[in-house]
Structure 1
Amino acid sequence: MATSSATSTHGIPLAFATCSIGHGEADDLHRRVEAIASAGFSAIELSFPDLKVFASQLLKHDVDDGNYDELCQAAKEARRLCDRHGLEIIMLQCFSNFEGWKRGSKEREQVWEKAKGWVRIMQACGIDMLLVGSTDAPAEEISTDREDIANDIGELCDFLKEHDMKVAYENWCWSTHATTWKEAWQIVQQVNRPNIGLCLNTFQIAGSEWANPCSISGCTETEITVAQMEDVDESWTETLESLSQTVPKEKIYLLQISDAYRPKKPFESEAVGGIKPRARWSRGYRPLPYDGGYLPVEDVTRAVLKTGYRGFFSVEVFDEGPDGQGKQSNLFEFAKKARQSVGRLISNCWQE
């Protein structure tokens, strides 16, 4: 069972994304949940790939993405598993490439079939929040018109509202149309539904406006001078002040926490194997705060706290080491380390 430490730091409840702990199928959902609970977290974000693996292990055969009957069966068992360990499931993640598809297209039909299936999973799990990442589908394949994007997300919100569910919309720093928190916020405002808010992420915010894995400096300028660094810092300060002053606390649904390594060698500026540089960076170079990264994670955290937000802080890291080649760690020790890291972050950033 989760211990009494599964409360908070300064009243902030803590969660952990299941995709951010463990290595492979040996560290199954049972072990991940047990480690998360034992470290003092009070909730998880359930990752769809983890649910799929769990379903295959539970039913002893491979379960396809679209087999929602069997996925729902596994979702109910995941709910029971979390209940036994005193954990809430706060969100299903992550629904990607939903918006922008042409009406009548096969792709649009497919994402709506997926949305309906994921709602079934959410019902089986007792989850009321769906994470939607700003699409990174190629611009030539979708509409990037803001009105089209907002209409699509609005329709999804309307569908979820029928089931008392909501959308947490997240900017991805490699997205086709919304790389910054402000662009995601503008979309949320244009959607104008009561059941949509932001999923803010320390990596995604800093990774879009302060850092660049393709630059020698690791910052948004390629070869940076002192004067240019001052410009970066000024712009960075302005964007965070804007966040803290313009986003209502009730429109922040979640803050995800991670840092990033500065690549030892700058990434190529072009996509490799169809993966954009910042997407590659996100997938394997995201450690816990205070564990070798270089992003101004505390800056983002302070800005979010200044809004008055006191909801979940959730660990979402993808740490394959500074070289991206892999990094092994004990599941339970890592969960405890994550708990200490987030506690330190909150304490360092806390302002009454």
Structure 2
Amino acid sequence: MALTRSSLSNIPTCFASCSIGCKSSHTLPKKLEAIAAAGFSAIELSFPDILSFGSQHLGKDIDPYDYDSLCKIGEEIRKLCQDHGLKILILQPFANFEGWPKGSKEREDAFTRAKGWIRIMQAVGTDMLQVGSTDSPNLKPSQEEVAADLRELADLLAPHSFRIAYENWCWSSHAPGWLEVWQIVQKVDRPNVGLCLDTFQTAGGEWADPTTLSGLNELEGEHLGGRELLSVIFHESLDKLSKTVPKDKIYFLQISDAYKPKEPFENKTIDGLRPRGRWSHDFRPVPFNGGYLPVVDVAKAVLKTGFRGYFSMEVFDGGPNGKGKDYELEDFAKEAMESHKKLLDACAE
């Protein structure tokens, strides 16, 4: 399918609420105002934003398991979004759900949270739940175990006409790449389960590595071709994606780049996070703003499936050193929209 600029002109735009705001004064209502003013049509609603808005709105800290209060807060957020003409595309991030041993406290907690989050979805008016591939240390379930859990979750969501968007996290022990999550979604075999693909998670896992001096994956066969070999393998993967994944199984595409760390990260788990997890938290700007990942290549591969759904900015921009970045909400949101337009221009053939 040719990627003409006109064919990309109606790509809908989304902004993850967790991706904007660098000060305590940057409250959710102010975030929504800036996102809408920049021309975005939807948001990914992040659970931490529900908690922070709730504490401000109700004047007290909200227990993350107090679903009665969270639903009341969700109804207020729904009204705010409607006032700004914003759709709530998805509730996120539902993490560390799948793969726990049967009978474990963790698995019981996972399904308790699932039932509570379904209530929140009803309150805020979204039909989609983002599930990130489990990244709990020392937990490496089989694809069959993961698929069984997601199938059970899908069946809980189905009576409400709700969907799961399953995302690979590039530091996950069992599903770090697009291929692994696609294999799992096929095993789940439910019509309400698809993919959340992500330019950072794909390029940051298969092409880049924050623990190396080059910032690139250093392959065992590097002596056979070095960066050229890496490029061949990476683009073979992208070509497989574009020819393998049906467009209707891609629910949305998250967009971000990454800064190359000035010093390689320690190749070990710190505070429960692997290197790519720590990299993800603070080193992800919008494309064309200092990053080095082949974001355009990933986006083009997704578009070549025929997908024309939401492009959603999910960035965690702590600056090139990852220590924080000061900005005004309006400027940041406008910069993200300009990046979106540049990305579509770059994807057009």
Confirm or deny a common fold (TM above 0.5). yes
Q: For residues 76-113 of structure 1, give each alpha carbon's deviation from its aligned partner in whole angstroms, at most 9, with x where no partner exists.
A: 00000000000000000000010011111111110111
The letter of the residue matching 1:77 is E
Work out whether 1:201 is the aligned partner of 2:198.
yes
| Among 283, 289, 292, the residue aligned to 2:290 | 292
| Among 236, 239, 253, the residue aligned to 1:238 | 236
Secondary structure in 1 matching 2:12: strand
In the TM superposition, what is the alpha-carbon distance from 1:163 to its structure 2 partner?
A: 1.2
| Among 156, 161, 177, the residue aligned to 1:159 | 156
Q: Distance in 2 between matches of 1:9 and 1:143?
A: 39
| Among 191, 197, 216, the residue aligned to 1:219 | 216
In the TM superposition, what is the alpha-carbon distance from 1:138 to its structure 2 partner?
A: 2.2
Work out whether 1:60 is the aligned partner of 2:59.
yes
Comparing 38-47 and 221-230, the one that deviates more:
221-230
Secondary structure in 2 matching 1:12: coil
Q: Is the 8 A contact 2:140 2:173 kept in 1?
A: no
Distance change (3 Å), C-alpha of 1:263 and 1:332:
same
The equivalent of 1:169 in structure 2 is: 166
The count of corresponding residues between Structure 1 and Structure 2 is 342
The equivalent of 2:4 in structure 1 is: none
The equivalent of 1:69 in structure 2 is: 68
The letter of the residue matching 1:168 is A
The equivalent of 1:11 in structure 2 is: 10
Q: Distance in 2 between matches of 1:216 and 1:182?
A: 27
| Among 245, 248, 254, the residue aligned to 2:246 | 248
Secondary structure in 2 matching 1:124: helix
In the TM superposition, what is the alpha-carbon distance from 1:325 to its structure 2 partner?
A: 1.0
Q: Distance in 1 between matches of 2:273 and 2:140?
A: 20
Alignment of 1:113-192 (within 5 A): 113-139=112-138, 142=139, 144-192=141-189
The equivalent of 2:110 in structure 1 is: 111
Alignment of 1:293-332 (within 5 A): 293-332=291-330
Q: Is the 8 A contact 1:244 1:304 kept in 2?
A: yes
The letter of the residue matching 1:250 is D
Q: Distance in 2 between matches of 1:184 and 1:268?
A: 27
Q: Distance in 2 between matches of 1:350 and 1:80?
A: 37
Q: Distance in 1 between matches of 2:140 and 2:226?
A: 34
Comparing 8-17 and 102-111, the one that deviates more:
8-17
The letter of the residue matching 2:148 is N
The letter of the residue matching 1:279 is G
In the TM superposition, what is the alpha-carbon distance from 1:350 to its structure 2 partner?
A: 2.3
User: Greater RCO between the two (CA within 8 Å, min separation 6)?
Assistant: 2
Q: Is the 8 A contact 1:254 1:313 kept in 2?
A: yes
Q: Distance in 1 between matches of 2:90 and 2:28?
A: 15
Structure 1: state its 5+ residue gaps. 1-7
Q: Is the 8 A contact 1:102 1:143 kept in 2?
A: no
The equivalent of 1:5 in structure 2 is: none
Secondary structure in 2 matching 1:162: helix
Q: Is the 8 A contact 1:143 1:149 kept in 2?
A: no
Aligned-residue Cα RMSD (Å) equals 1.4
The letter of the residue matching 2:279 is W
Q: Distance in 2 between matches of 1:118 and 1:21?
A: 23
Q: Distance in 1 between matches of 2:183 and 2:207?
A: 20
The letter of the residue matching 1:108 is R
Q: Is the 8 A contact 1:214 1:222 kept in 2?
A: no
Q: Distance in 2 between matches of 1:215 and 1:17?
A: 29
The letter of the residue matching 1:67 is D
Q: Distance in 1 between matches of 2:37 and 2:170?
A: 33
Distance change (3 Å), C-alpha of 1:9 and 1:306:
closer
Secondary structure in 2 matching 1:109: helix
Distance change (3 Å), C-alpha of 1:225 and 1:324:
farther
Q: For residues 269-301 of structure 1, give each alpha carbon's deviation from its aligned partner in whole angstroms, at most 9, with x where no partner exists.
A: 111222210000000000010000000000001
Q: Is the 8 A contact 1:290 1:341 kept in 2?
A: yes
Work out whether 1:271 is the aligned partner of 2:260.
no
Alignment of 1:324-343 (within 5 A): 324-343=322-341
Identity %: 56
Q: For residues 290-334 of structure 1, give each alpha carbon's deviation from its aligned partner in whole angstroms, at most 9, with x where no partner exists.
A: 000000000001001100000000000000011111111110010
Secondary structure in 1 matching 2:225: helix
The equivalent of 1:43 in structure 2 is: 42
In the TM superposition, what is the alpha-carbon distance from 1:226 to its structure 2 partner?
A: 8.5
Secondary structure in 1 matching 2:160: coil
User: Normalising by the residue count of structure 1, what TM-score does the alignment of the two structures yield?
Assistant: 0.95
Distance change (3 Å), C-alpha of 1:272 and 1:138:
closer
In the TM superposition, what is the alpha-carbon distance from 1:348 to its structure 2 partner?
A: 1.1
The letter of the residue matching 1:97 is N
Q: For residues 45-102 of structure 1, give each alpha carbon's deviation from its aligned partner in whole angstroms, at most 9, with x where no partner exists.
A: 0000001101111111111101111111110000000000000000000000100111
